[in-house]
Amino acid sequence: MRVVLYARVSSEKQAEKDLSIAAQLKALRKYAVEHGWEVYKEFVDEAESARSANRPAFKEMVALAKQKHKFFDTILVWKLSRFARNREDSIIYKSLLRKCGVSVISINEQVDETPAGKLLEGMIEVIDEFYSINLAQDTIRGMKENAGRGYHNGGTIPIGYKAKKIMDGPNEKTRLEPDEAFAPIIRRIFQMCVSGMGAKEIVMTLNGEDLRTSKGKRWNKNNVYYILKNEVYTGTLVWNHQSKSQGRPRAKDPREVIRIENNHPALIDRETFEKAQTLLRARSPEIIHPRAVHSDYLLSGLLYCGKCGSRMLGCAAKSSRFFYYACQNYCKRGKGVCDARLINKDRLEAFGIERV
């Protein structure tokens, strides 16, 4: 019989314990050898939750099982919780695999195909799902307590700050402190904004001086907007202000948001931050349904830069007195990336009409 091995860990901490990928694979290989089974392939998902089926290796394994040619007969897992901790996903995928002639075997939970075996398997999966949901709630509760005491809850440290490790009893915690290598750049970005410069001008200024982000990359408008809208630079810790629903950020109920002012050293004052928000809102385009949007640029979406191959965008200059087509890279990243010249809108459109 040909089998595939599936191993998964949901966190680095779990990987450090006896549930590590290496430990799971070692046990699975030994089990296959003891039963005289041939291992066709090994699939591994690291730092992936079993509460979702959206796991790269898992999806690849299921897709392989669905092929017309049968590559393997059984999936070996260390425990059923490695396969899924969502009862609905477990039922759906096991049913799909069964139709393809593929079974799932847990080497540490011996269940058979009898009615009693199916009942036991279902009970194990329900307990696993309960454990997973309960663990998630405990984790959120711990993160809420951590944020409430002014500690950083993990994730990317905002540019302009660095992590400061401190001991809280036996536990190591993280607070934010200014990173003097980038803090001056953050202050300058806000000053440029309140002085009337737009995000594109700020980007072109920073890239023109060959300044880089904390990741060593060139600046773009997304970087600048993220900084200008981030309240962390006023010394305020904000946690749990949004969640993702279907991949899109959604604002949380204000009562669930933890907000602590003067939590860490501020890089800019509150007055500067609020002035920047006012200017950003004033410059923000009106939100219109896509079907109602029309472009004043006849060749929009049809032109590409001859130097770098990027799309050409319509843009205005001198308080909207002059209109041009410009390279997207030039507009967003500056002439250091592409130095293609602006092309007069009326002349280019007239030329296009003559040629049609």
DSSP string, 274-331: HHHHHHHHHHSPPP--GGG---S-TTTTT-B-TTT-PBEEEEEETTTTEEEEEEHHHH
Q: 15 or 115: which carries more pLDDT confidence?
A: 115
Mean pLDDT (whole number) for 120-143: 67
At the topology level, CATH places domain 2-135 in Rossmann fold (3.40.50)
- Model-level pTM? 0.52
Contact 163, 116 (CB under 8 A): no
Of 61-65, 138-142, 160-164, 333-337, which gets the smallest average pLDDT?
138-142
CA dist 252 and 229 (Å) reads: 17
Which pLDDT does position 189 carry in this prediction? Answer: 94
CATH class (in words) of the domain with range 161-284: alpha beta
Question: pLDDT for 188-222, tens place per residue?
Answer: 999 999 988 888 889 888 988 889 998 899 999 89
The residue annotated as part of the active site, out of 10, 106, 132, 310, is 10
Question: pLDDT for 21-30, tens place per residue?
Answer: 888 999 999 9
CA dist 166 and 17 (Å) reads: 25
Question: pLDDT for 68-127, tens place per residue?
Answer: 899 999 999 988 888 876 666 777 888 888 889 998 888 888 776 677 666 766 776 666
User: Does the pLDDT at position 352 exceed 90?
Assistant: no
Instruction: Check if 20 is active-site.
Output: no
In DSSP terms, which residues pair with 6 in a beta bridge? 43, 77
Percent of the chain with pLDDT over 90: 28
Chain-wide mean pLDDT for the chain?
81
CA dist 245 and 51 (Å) reads: 16
Which pLDDT does position 18 carry in this prediction? Answer: 47
Of 273-277, 283-287, 309-313, which gets the smallest average pLDDT?
283-287
Q: Are strands 103-106 and 74-77 parallel, antiparallel or unpaired?
A: parallel
Q: Is 175 left (phi over 0), alpha (psi -120 to 50) or beta?
A: beta
Please report, in angstroms and rounded to a whole number, the separation of the first and last CA atoms in the chain.
66
Tokens of 334: 């500056």
Which pLDDT does position 16 carry in this prediction? Answer: 42
Of 192-196, 265-269, 284-288, which gets the smallest average pLDDT?
284-288
Of 97, 109, 126, 116, residue with least CA distance to 27: 109
CA dist 218 and 242 (Å) reads: 28
How many DSSP H helices and E strands does the chain contain?
12, 13
Q: How confident is the model at residue 313 (pLDDT cuts 50, 70, 90)?
A: confident
Which pLDDT does position 31 carry in this prediction? Answer: 93
CA dist 252 and 327 (Å) reads: 38
Tokens of 242: 């949004």
User: Does the pLDDT at position 237 exceed 80?
Assistant: yes
Contact 308, 327 (CB under 8 A): yes
User: Does the pLDDT at position 288 exceed 60?
Assistant: no
**Rounded-to-5 percentages of helix, strand, coil across the chain:** 40, 20, 40
Which pLDDT does position 3 carry in this prediction? Answer: 94
Mean pLDDT (whole number) for 218-235: 91
Boundaries of every domain in the chain: 2-135, 161-284, 292-355
User: Does the pLDDT at position 268 exceed 50?
Assistant: yes
Q: 36 or 353: which carries more pLDDT confidence?
A: 36
Which pLDDT does position 296 carry in this prediction? Answer: 72
Contact 189, 158 (CB under 8 A): no
CA dist 100 and 79 (Å) reads: 22
Domains 2-135 and 161-284 share a fold: no
Tell me how crowded residue 344 is: count the other CB atoms within 10 A of its CB: 14
Q: 140 or 304: which carries more pLDDT confidence?
A: 304
Of 34-43, 54-63, 174-183, 239-248, which gets the smallest average pLDDT?
239-248
